[in-house]
Amino acid sequence: MPRIRVLVYGSGAAVPLLATYSDNADRAAYVARQSLISAMNGASGISLSVPSDLSPAASRVLMDDVQSSLTDELAAKSGELDCVLWDLADERFGVFRLADGTYLTASPQLSKASMRGAEVTRHVSFGTREHFALWKSAADRFIDLLGTLGLRSRTFVLKMPAASHSPKASGAKPRVRGYARAVAYARYYRHLRRRGIAILDANPKGARYEPTPGNVDQRFHLLAAKLGAAMEHGGYDNSGHWNWDAQHQAPVLCWSDPSQLDVRITGRTEHLIVPRDRAGEKYPIRFLLQNTGADALLVVSHGALARTKYKVPRFEFLSTLQSRNENLLFLSDGVLEVNPKLELAWFTGDAKDDLTVRYSRIVRTVAEQLGAKKILFVGGSGGGFASVNLAASVEGSRALVFNPQTDIRKYWAKSVLAYQRTLFPELDSPDELCHLEERASLVHRVSSLPPESYQLIYVQNDDDTFHIENHLKPFAKQLGMYPSTSVSPNGNVQIIVEPFASGHSMPYRSVLNPLIDYALQGWGQKFEPWKNRPHALPVPPEL
């Protein structure tokens, strides 16, 4: 599906909806801190002196307001726009009437500048009769312009509760607050509805009060859903959702904070948790969830991606597993989204952003919300490494892995070098990855855990010599096991070495699903020797 091209007008709901809660839209133009009264009454014949401590972006916003740039932006971009997102948040500042008959938005940025060429005659406050009369006249002219440019039916006004228009970041002090301010906005929205402009309201029906900080994401998702439905009604093919992953046939729900994550939606959904700068996070967390209502959760991590063949996000084994009855959680490594040349990062993150910790927390949250009692981590190769690492952090879980790496340093030199230079440049060489201990070595990981704290089924193709020598043997030795089909003395680790596929390939579909069935049996019990393999599991094919 082609990306959506959007003109954003305002600095309330429209900005985060595009920047935070959208994954497939691009900002074609942005007009902020520009009251419609200022925008539709022509450029002001003044000059501004902007203080040096004002950012370039803030200075540009002021100059655009002086020039009443909105109409020019619309005319220049109209041919390439899919929609216009408009919020009324900036009207709350009111406007200054100048001696030459023009207006400027009384924004906090303007108060820091000095002007020459025209005097301010008075401040017209938001919500007053005079302000509404001026705004209503400007709105009628603006709507006519949208019609001329063919954008009227593709313009959507976004209405968030009053708290989302909070001016804390800008330092502004509007004359009305909270519910009183929402009442003041009501007639502005009412006029736009009468003129045929779509108003998308994120307030649940009948709600009168502001949202709490804990449900801001849900309000934006409601807004996004209404926007998607409105765009589809207008002829835009987006499957009824503002954020739609066409490849995986799922809506994308974006979250600004993991504490707000809600996955209790039946069916398939894709989730993106944006990194929080204040928490030192650099990489997004992305996953696809298929909620079936079962009591088991399969958590699948992908291995290396040939970047010429696969695109991120990558949800490995989706086509093979999607018909299963269990809840399915497919993880995609956020490092690969940020670093398009990197093929494998083992879900570790870097020195400051530990993705293993973040992903394990997400898995626990998802399992708790779905009521899943069994958590089975599944993955092959680099995804096998990630699965064991994550399972070690989620008590009571199991891991089923295929041909995994157990020490990142001992993988192919080219991949390890790219990983170290990209994510741990502070280290002098790949050899120094040993300092990461359990983050980079499952051998170290299992040595630091109580033997009874995890269960693992380690499946290895018998002709994958490289992984047997460099990964299986040291791992088995650490557990006091032989690198051959066997069960650990405590019954919590089962190694299976058979010809399930050729070389380093993953198991065939006819083997993968029965192996998962086997891994879900006897939950919490000790593993039986593999010679007692369940009858349902097919005999390995001749290779």
Going by C-alpha positions, the residue among 240, 206, 216, 84 that lies closest to residue 160 is: 216
Instruction: Please tell me the distance from the alpha carbon of residue 346 to that of residue 412, in angstroms, as a whole number.
Output: 13
- Tens digit of pLDDT per residue, the chain (543 long)? 578 999 999 999 999 999 889 988 999 999 999 999 999 999 998 988 888 888 998 899 999 999 999 999 999 999 999 999 999 999 999 999 999 999 999 999 898 888 888 888 999 999 999 999 999 999 999 999 999 999 999 999 999 875 443 333 333 444 444 455 678 899 999 999 999 999 999 876 655 444 455 578 988 998 998 998 888 876 666 656 788 898 999 999 999 999 999 999 999 999 999 999 989 999 999 999 999 999 999 999 999 999 989 989 999 999 999 999 999 999 999 999 999 999 999 999 999 999 999 999 999 999 999 999 999 999 999 999 999 999 999 989 999 999 999 999 999 999 999 999 999 999 999 999 999 999 999 999 888 777 677 899 999 999 999 999 999 999 999 999 999 999 998 899 999 999 888 999 988 888 899 999 999 999 989 998 877 665 556 555 544
Range 4-233 has CATH code 3.40.50: yes
Going by C-alpha positions, the residue among 162, 240, 229, 242 that lies closest to residue 198 is: 229
Instruction: Please tell me the distance from the alpha carbon of residue 501 to that of residue 28, in angstroms, as a whole number.
Output: 49
CATH architecture of 245-532: 3-Layer(aba) Sandwich (3.40)
**Within 10 A of 423 (CB to CB), how many other CB atoms are there?**
25
Query: How do beta strands 47-49 and 103-105 pair?
Result: unpaired
Calculate helix-pair angle for 355-370, 382-391, nearest 10 degrees: 70
Instruction: Please tell me the distance from the alpha carbon of residue 245 to that of residue 24, in angstroms, as a whole number.
Output: 8
Going by C-alpha positions, the residue among 496, 504, 274 that lies closest to residue 383 is: 504
Q: In 228-373, at which residue ranges do the beta strands (DSSP E only) sit?
A: 244-245, 250-255, 267-273, 285-291, 296-301, 327-332
Q: If you ran DSSP here, which 8-state letter would residue 472 be given?
A: I
- H/E element holding 515? helix 509-520
> Tokens 């307001």, residue?
65
DSSP track, 93-119: G-EEEETTS-EEE--TTGGGSEEESS-
Instruction: Please tell me the distance from the alpha carbon of residue 218 to that of residue 263, in angstroms, as a whole number.
Output: 11
Q: Please tell me the predicted confidence (pLDDT) of residue 537.
A: 61
Query: How do beta strands 398-402 and 374-380 pair?
Result: parallel
Q: Where in the chain is CATH 3.40.50.1820? A: 245-532
Residue 393, CA distances (Å) to 213, 303, 339, 399 in order: 29, 19, 26, 11
Q: Please tell me the predicted confidence (pLDDT) of residue 237.
A: 61
Q: Please tell me the predicted confidence (pLDDT) of residue 539.
A: 54
Cis peptide before 56 (omega within 30 of 0): no
User: Which residues lie across from 386 on neighbouring strands?
Assistant: none
